[in-house]
Structure 1
Amino acid sequence: MRCHHLSPRGTFRRHQLVLACALALGAGTAQAQQATTTQNTPDPTNLDAVQVTGIRAAIESAVATKNESTSIVEAISAEDIGKLPDVSIADSISRLPGIATQRVDGRSQVVQIRGMSEQFVGTTLNGREQVSTGESRGVEFDQYPAELINAVTVYKTADAAVVGQGLSGTVDLQTIRPLSLGERRIVITGNGEKNSLGDLSPDGDDKGYRASASYVDQFADDTIGIALGVARLNSPFQEKHYKEWWWANTDVWGQSQPGKPADAIALQGQEAWVKSRDLTRDGVMGAFEFKPNEHFHSILDVYWSKFQQDEVMHGAMWTNDAYWTGMNGQPAGYENIGLTERNGFPIITSGTQTGVQPLVRNDNNTREDKLFSAGWTNTISFEPWTVSLDLNYSRAERRQSQLETYAGLADPQDVGFQVPISAGYGNYSLADLSDPNSVYLWDVQNYGHDGRLENSWQKDEIKAGRLQFTYDVDTAIVRSFDVGANINRRSKDKRSDVYFATLRNGATLVDPSLLMSPTSLGFVGMGDILTFNPRALLDQYYDVAISESNDDLRKDYVVDEDVNTYYVRANIDMDLTDRIRVRGNAGMQYISTDQSSTGFNANGGAITGSQTLGARYNDALPSLNLVFDFGDGWNVRFGAAKQMMRAPINYLSADSSAAVSQTTSLWEGSGGNPTLEPYRANAVDLSLEKYMGQASYASVALFYKDLDTYIYRQTIPWDFTGYDPDGETPISNIGTFSTWANGTGGYMRGVEAAVTLTGDLFSEALDGFGVQLNGSYTESSIDPDPNDNTPGTDTIPGLSKVVANATLFYEKYGWGARISQRYRDPYRGEYSSLFGQRQYRNTLSERSVDLQLSYEFPETSALKGLSLMFQVNNLTNEAFRTEVSESTNSTGLFLPEEYTEYGRQYLLGFSYRL
């Protein structure tokens, strides 16, 4: 934490407040350290070491970082991270004003800032742009253990010297600098973990553990520093899942069903399953620091993590839509129905589905992600010049395998049902789906195969170098100038193979020796289902052969980006009047981008050619940040900038499915668009802040972004020169192509408010108590799907109009307690869908509550250094809920889609500091 003040000559000086640090797992009773300088300024030469501990110390550090920054930022420190019951750094970040996370598989995964999806968020580690294990730019923060991150700064305004910025904001993760700690520190932590849902399936587990250790030391008269941290997470995630596929009045399309009243809206398919995930994450952080004198400073830091997930799923599903017929050739129908009216429309909510064919699914999905990041910075200072050179490398790899198998009864079934038209579980009465003498392996739903296997691999890699010159000046307005260049080379490569499994001897009963105990779907009334390990059955019962559709073939692509960033920045510090001090920065980035992609053209289930396409463009991005300090803790901040964000990487894929129409002799196709230009916006921010004491503040901020362009799917003219016409003769090489394209933009605007108060501000009797509250309201005029009139599609992905957080805490005499609640309004989320595709889904509001209780033994105790903790994540077992519009788009109704519970995570553990 740096404390800025005026010298007698009014120039800007920098100091550091050094806090204690421990890289402790989730329990985080270790001491915080906030010694990281920003990536934009040289290290300070004047260090004043002051050790403070506890939650209040962490809050003081975060408040000071916000106060002293020349940009509008939010911050958290290592102690703040450690004192919260967080699985990953994403949970900690989501408690900051205007920031929300999206839950995937029951855990916070991606960060969304100011109502914009993760695709608009820039992420850096120690100031260096990071790769992603996902398909695009959005970093999956559950890859980063909270215990290995020392501090986080979220930039909400643009800064000319921040490289890799996002359009909505930039998250900078920071690791420890060992020389700043000033003493040896060893911390060991351990936690046991249990999921409240218990063992949902015979091959699942509801118990796990977390452990970490860290070592920080200094040598050779504090000229050499070393920091090492390791963390391991073995966490059980459980899931009770129910989904209503889609709702429709199929009479509108001329498809009636036996027993269905005319124009009644009916559910067209359903599924329920339990999942057990064994999640293992190993993380290692290392830093080597060398500072032999005031002129030279060298830091080498390395981060590595491996994330492994083994997921088993056991469930049942079936379709009962008007277009499906069973093996007997008869369509599904209804008997003894019950209707519920909503907004004047009749909806079938109970009765009996006739002639359906329930499918028993036994799936196994494995995933392994590896992250590696390394950076080496060398800084030479001879007043008034400072020169720094940073070389860095970042790599992410993902290997994934998804296997699904099908089984069921031989004959069509009648199923009694009661389905809700508000979020919740349905109830179904099924025949016994666990009888090993009646449930066969076979293609129950007429998919055309008896099982499906998809293996995929992707690699994302960044090689970058940055050179910066800083020149200190002594004027009444400017204290220094920064001039720099960052050269960045990024490549993302994805491969996928799809196989179909075919039973060698047709419909087959499973050998009882290969069966497990049945899995219960009693939470939806479906009873028990046949359960087995699908991978154990592959060799014994199936022939597996590659079989890929056009969409499968198009999953293979390579995207390359060369991005050169040149910048200049003037750092401002002046006395505007006797009472008003102004500090900040003004600068310009010039970014040159050269992007290209190689992908395949797929037609008729075969590759008919490949193509490499791309684009070049340049952007000049001015920015201004000013802080008006009126004294007595009052600040007014103003920011203005032109911003850009490159398109999601998967949008840039050169994949396509194109052919010459036999009817019109014209080219038609669809796919990715490597010629996309970025999102571009003009942004203005204004913030009023009041700081009270060292750990309390209140702020109100307004922001406005005017996006010149937005990217959405369109049908545009396309030059098909070089494409194989596959025996057809086109009239012209110009045809039509459905793809991502730049289109009309709009505004994003909102207001944010935050307050942090400690009880001692009001009364000594309240010393130790505190509260942190924040909330934001955001709205947008952007229509991301202007050609789609489906209800709910006119909302920008990731936009929750209201996001709020509340934390109450107490810490005194060694006792600690903290309860936190996160809330976000309904939003349109983007998720992985069928066969790895991306899908937008209307996600309902979420209210997540976490609790932590702790006790730290005093220094006078024989157990000094030991802390004990009890934590509960998702205290209220908040369900994940989505809804879907009625499919004819004529009613305006939204009806339930998914309702999934993940249970509570209980943790009991310790932290010991030497």
Structure 2
Amino acid sequence: MRGFTARSLSRLVIGTSALALVGLPGMAVAQDAAATLGNPGSSDIQDTPTTSEPTTGDDIVVTGIRASLRESVDIKRDGQGIVDAISAEDIGKFPDTNLAESLQRITGVSIDRSNGEGSFVTVRGFGPEFNMVTLNGRQMPTSSLGDGLSAPSSRSFDFANLASEGISAVEVYKTGRAAVPSGGIGSSINIRTPRPLDKPGFRGSVAAKGVLDTSRNGKDPITPEVSGIISSTFADNRIGVLLTGIYQRRKASVNNASVGYRDGYLGSENNWGSLAQPGDPRAANITNRPDATDVYEVPQNAGYDFTDIDRERINGQLVLQFRPVDDLTATVDYTYSRNDIEGRNSSVGIWFNHNDTSSAWTDGPVAGPVFYTERFGANEGKDLAYSGALTASRSENKSLGGNLTWNAPGGVTMTLDAHHSTAESKPTNRYGNSVSVGNAVFGIQNQTINFENYLPVLSYNMYPGIDPLNVSLITPTGNAFRNSYFKDRINQVQLAGHYDHDGAFLDSIDFGVSYVNNKVRSAYGVIQNDTWGGAGPASDIPDDIFHLANVPDKFDGLGGANDPTIIKQFYTFDFERMVELIDRLYKTCGGDNDCRAPFTTDRRTTEKTLSPFIQINNKFDLFSRPAHLIAGVRYDQTLVNSSALVPVPSGTRWVSQNEFGVIYSGASAFTRFKGEYQNWLPAFDFDMQPIENVKLRASYSHTITRADYASLQGGRTIDQLFRVGGGTGQQGNPGLIPYKSKNIDLSAEWYYSRESYISVGYFHKNVENFISSTQVNTPAFDLTNPASGPRYRAAVAALGANASGGAIRDYIFTNFPTTTRPNLNAAGGFVRDATGFITGDIFGVAGDDPVNFQIGTPVNSDQTGKIEGFEFAIQHQFWDTGFGTILNYTIVNGDARYNNALPSSVTQFALVGLSDSANAVGYYDKNGIQARVAYNWRAKFLSGTGLNPFYVQAYGQVDASASYEFTKGLTAFVEAINLTGSSRRGHRRSENNVTFVQPGYARYSAGMRFSF
């Protein structure tokens, strides 16, 4: 390859990551479909010069940041459609902890952070569930445990599981392509890993660094990260072996202030929790009460919680390649990743009863609280909660794949690729993955939340004689032990071909077929004890189990942290010791300390998808200028088989005149439903060069995203209580068809120097098949209605049409005794209610009319959403100074925005995740010194909906890195993430309705890398 020397081979990846990949392949985007499957071979390497202009003497070698940016320019310019990519060099240059941190600087890509690290990606406003992720062209399984409050169901790929050091390239396809797997309306993201035969010889790199996380509360803030890669070929470069290993440990803390709310009420509403109406004496305690048509939300609970996190990440890959002849390559690869996370949480919190309250409000139409106070009587026993929680989970990914690529005669390349991959998330302790244990001191006289600052300020006063810091007053209360499980297994076989025609118009043809068998299991169980008023006396708990902790210093620098009324101190406790104690004393988990809840929800879904495709690639001259046209179509046929474990009803009973119930035997069984759908997905990409170094593009495509697994689940459950007219229930719908988007993309790009360009792009997406809920009327489980059948009609015939329900029940008790169970007194007589009617149960029997249930089920609605936006990008090198910059900005708009001025009783449809985003990078790369400062920003966005909206406020973060190569192959580097300690904040309808505040902290690292 022109411009490469021994020095450049040893410095292919230089920068700020713990370990860079040396000697890994370059990456081209305009590649054939066969080459992208499992084995990105040497044909993928784009043979582009790395010098600024041809030379006749020694090659001018450009490495490091400038080399990676040159490659980025080549990829963007030479690719077909709208695609961006990052090579291993580029990823290594960022102080990133995983791939999400690296992807955020691509135009149109923003990320969601969890525990201070990038976790999920959003592309052009479409969240993680709308982006398909593949590994070497293979569909990857996904797994996560979600919030731990229900059975996990997301398709979102968690990039926190992957370290960036083991990746050779990442491609982000923003337009649909027939040769690219379906499933991503936002984008299709292909992660590529290195292959030994692409870079013959013996080479490798080892590195180590120490990480200092300033967020850590307490000791041991410095943790290690080590990694290495070795690649070797032998037997005349016909056999290759590559081994990668990465170990990363991180200890951090997340300090959080949170507030929960009642639903959004109109000022005219009179509900539990709503503000007192005019005329109520309590209304005198309200300042600037919301008007009748204003919407407001009162706080329900609030707290300060502090979580210490211990994360251990292990990644590895083994690749074996054999090339017996030049035209045949066999590859076997095994990829492994494991991400263990443990979080230990302590919190202090308050709850509101909404009785004797005082408050002040901002002006409408969306009124926000200024403060909210509630007073309690001495006999109410209002509690100050001291709680603890433990989360512990492991996400493990395994992928075994094989690939056979044959460069056949006549310009034909055939590739057969297959893999078996699993992703599994599960608890790592004996209690489950999410456990919470409560304690409290009772006796709050009044409590207040002040919303006037960035940080919500919580304060309280106790009744005289009650000291909340007197450890002997702390009483054990309620608890919950949650157990979640998720496993996704994918078996995939792909056969792809590429035919080079090299004709005047027809350049090449890509064709192939893919079969995917995707099998998912999601399970959940909970043991919950709602003894919030006290499980036992305070004397049951020894004092030495508790430890005093401070609050304000955890929020240093945030407005409100120095408020003199803020909660100053609270008690934490030894979690495992507390669990063992309350289980022994109160049989919390049965008394045997086995607190792993059995699964009461168990969902199984299998998707089988067959996808043939064909793509025709054409090149021609248009107005004497070069042009390309790619036209293709992909056909997806998917069969869905979904089942779920549900409690099995054994009958019904008529309990009282107007009350009916379903009887459960305690047994469970799987209910099953099926569905299927087909999609034709056309894709067209056109580009031309109207003048030298200027490229115009236009693309049109159809893309899809499949529904979440909870919506597809096969379970049908019914609510226990029903009325004479019927009951209610819920079920999933495996027949849901995917979200579908029709996409238009336009762009113009000017490459005015070897490393510099300006581009502007426009995108438009029209999305349909959104999911809503409907009611289906149907019988269920052969249940019958004891108040509608032969017995009932016999009673009406005997007593008359105007007979009361009590009289009809008495008739059935008397005349059909074998189908009833009356309540009897000690003398054997009937027990009667206050009106004189017999009490007891009348059972539904065969011959009674069936119970009609209104079953809520997800359906595809007729709602549509239109999203459009612009992408602007500049990449500029300042001559030969070594200085350069990268600037980009993305504008995203949609036609379905949430209206905060409507109450929660009004159902709304809104698109979540839409936001503008921007990046600004300045760098220096010359004479072995490299430095980079990067700023990433995302505007406020709607993060969730339901009865109420949830917003995340605008966030910007500064990262920096620098490295120096002392001698060939030996580099020292330093990194800083979130250098300025940016904090995060969320809210509901009003910015005063803050939902969370998390202070930000910088993370520093330094280390050495040796490449050979």
Same fold? TM cut 0.5: yes
Residue in 2 that maps onto 1:361: 387
Distance 1:504 1:643, change over 3 A: closer
Name the amino acid aligned to 1:815: I
Larger radius of gyration: 2
Task: State how far apart, in whole Å, the 1-side matches of 2:172 and 2:236 are.
Answer: 35
> Which whole-Å CA distance do the structure 2 matches of 1:685 and 1:215 have between them?
41
Deviations 1:559-588 (CA, angstroms, capped at 9, x unpaired): 11001111111122223343x112242111
Q: Which residue number corresponds to residue 606 of structure 2? A: 560
Tell whether 2:894 aligns with 1:853. Answer: no
Residue in structure 2 matching 1:420, options 451, 465, 471 = 451
Q: Give the corresponding residue for 1:492.
A: 520
Tell me the SS of whatever aligns to 2:156.
Answer: coil
The one-letter amino acid of 2:958's match is: V
SS in 2 for 1:544: coil
Residue 651 of structure 1 deviates from its aligned partner by: 1.8
Matching residue's letter, 2:498:
T
RMSD, matched Cα: 3.4
Q: Return the offset for 1:913.
A: 1.5
Matched, 1:544 2:658: no
State the partner residue of 2:181.
163
Q: 1:716 aligns with which of 754, 775, 792?
A: 775
User: Paired residue for 1:54?
Assistant: 64
1:342–1:391 distance in 2 versus 1, CA, 3 Å: same
1:79-98 matches, cutoff 5 A: 79-98=89-108
Q: Deviations over 1:265-295 (max 9, x none)?
A: 7533211111110011011022222223321
CA–CA distance in 2 between the matches of 1:718 and 1:174?
49
Q: 2:572 aligns to what SS in structure 1?
A: coil
Q: Which residue of 2 aligns with 1:700?
A: 760
8 A Cα contact 1:601 1:658, kept in partner: no
Query: How many angstroms apart in 1 are the aligned matches of 2:363 and 2:902?
Result: 25
Q: What is the rounded CA distance, in whole Å, between the counterparts of 1:79 and 1:722 in structure 2?
A: 60
Is 1:230 matched up with 2:245?
yes
Residues 683-735 of structure 1, C-alpha deviations (whole Å, 9 max, x = no match): 111111112333222111111112232123x2232545556569658866775
User: Is the alpha carbon distance of 1:720 and 1:560 closer, same or farther for their aligned partners in structure 2, counting shifts above 3 Å?
Assistant: farther
| CA–CA distance in structure 2, aligned partners of residues 291 and 2 of structure 1 | 24
Q: Is 1:813 aligned to 2:927, yes or no?
A: yes
Match of 1:317 in 2: 349
The structure 2 residue matched to 1:436, chosen from 451, 460, 471, is: 471
How many residue pairs match? The answer is 852
CA 1:259–1:560: 2 relative to 1, 3 Å = same
1:658 matches 2:718: yes
1:284 matched to 2:316: yes
- Structure 1: which amino acid aligns with 2:756? S
Rate the CA distance shift 1:273–1:460 in 2: closer, same or farther, 3 A.
same
Cα deviation, residue 601, structure 1 = 3.7
Partner Cα distance (2:877, 2:784) in 1: 71
Rounded Cα–Cα distance in structure 1 between residues aligned with 2:758 and 2:979 = 28
Deviating more after overlay: 714-723 vs 338-347: 338-347
Q: Take 1:698 and 1:725, find their aligned partners in 2: how far apart are those partners?
A: 71
CA distance in structure 2 between the partners assigned to 1:433 and 1:217 by the alignment: 66
| Secondary structure of the structure 1 residue equivalent to 2:339 | strand
SS at match of 1:245: strand
Note if 1:795 corresponds to 2:795: no
TM-score by length of 1: 0.86
From 491, 494, 497, the equivalent of 1:469 is: 497
- Is 1:742 the counterpart of 2:857? The answer is no
Check conservation: 1:25, 1:211, Cα contact below 8 A. Answer: no
The residue type paired with residue 533 of structure 1 is D
C-alpha deviation, 1:516, in angstroms? 4.3
Partner of 1:12: none
Q: What residue is the counterpart of 1:70 in the other structure?
A: 80
Could you tell me how far apart the structure 2 residues matched to 1:110 and 1:792 are?
28
Give me the TM-score of the superposition, normalised by structure 2. 0.78
1:151 aligns with 2:183: no
Distance 1:572 1:497 in 2: 56
**Aligned to 1:298, what secondary structure does the other structure show?**
strand
User: Distance between the aligned counterparts of 1:191 and 1:162, measured in 2?
Assistant: 37
Please list the CA deviations of residues 346-400 of structure 1 after superposition, one character each: whole Å capped at 9, or x if unmatched.
8452767545411110111101110112221101122222221001122111113
SS in 1 for 2:714: coil
1:581 to 620, 623, 626: 626
Query: Residue 864 of structure 2 aligns to a residue in which SS?
Result: strand
Distance 1:321 1:233, change over 3 A: same
1:269-668 aligned at under 5 Å gives the runs 269-322=301-354, 333-334=356-357, 339=360, 341-343=362-364, 347-349=369-371, 353-354=375-376, 356-384=382-410, 385-400=412-427, 401-409=433-441, 411-415=442-446, 417=448, 419-421=450-452, 423-429=454-460, 433-441=468-476, 443=477, 450-500=478-528, 507-516=538-547, 518=549, 520=551, 523=555, 525-542=566-583, 543-545=587-589, 555-578=601-624, 580-602=625-647, 609-659=669-719, 662-668=722-728
Task: Tell me if structure 2 keeps the 8 A contact 1:830–1:838.
Answer: no
SS of the residue 1:215 aligns to: strand
Structure 1 residues 507 and 396, CA gap change in structure 2 (3 angstroms): same
Partner amino acid for 2:926? Answer: K
- Matched residues in 2 for 1:731 and 1:686: separation? 62
1:71 Cα offset (Å): 2.0
Are the structure 2 counterparts of residues 507 and 58 from structure 1 closer, same or farther at C-alpha, using a change threshold of 3 Å?
Answer: same
Query: How much has 1:752 moved relative to structure 2?
Result: 0.9
Structure 2 residue 872 is matched with structure 1 residue 753: yes
Q: Distance in 2 between matches of 1:590 and 1:902?
A: 47
Matched AA of 2:308 = S
Render the CA deviation track for 1:465-522: whole Å, top value 9, x for unaligned: 0012322223211122222110100011012221135798555443244444545465
Q: Would you say the 8 A contact 2:472–2:539 is kept in 1?
A: no
> 1:23/1:166 Cα in 2 relative to 1: closer, same or farther (>3 Å)?
farther
Query: Structure 2: how far apart are the matches of 1:642 and 1:589?
Result: 10
Aligned to 2:820: none
Shift of 1:108: 1.5
Alignment check: 8 A CA contact 1:158 1:165 kept: no
Query: What residue in structure 1 maps to residue 974 of structure 2?
Result: 870
Structure 2 residue aligned with 1:907: 1005
Q: Contact 2:950/2:989 (CA < 8 Å) preserved in 1? A: no
TM-superposed deviation, 1:253? 2.1
Which amino acid is the alignment partner of residue 963 of structure 2? S
1: CA distance between counterparts of 2:402 and 2:899?
Answer: 44
How far did 1:26 drift?
Answer: 2.4
1:291 and 1:165, CA in 2 relative to 1: closer, same or farther beyond 3 A?
A: farther
Any conservation in 2 of the 1:689–1:698 contact (CA below 8 Å)? yes
The CA deviation at 1:739 is 2.9
Counterpart amino acid of residue 797 in structure 1: V
Change (3 A) 1:558 1:394: same
Residue type of the partner of 2:698?
Answer: F
- The answer as to whether partners of 2:346 and 2:387 remain within 8 angstroms in 1 is yes
State the alpha-carbon separation in 1 of the partners of residues 454 and 544 from structure 2. Answer: 40
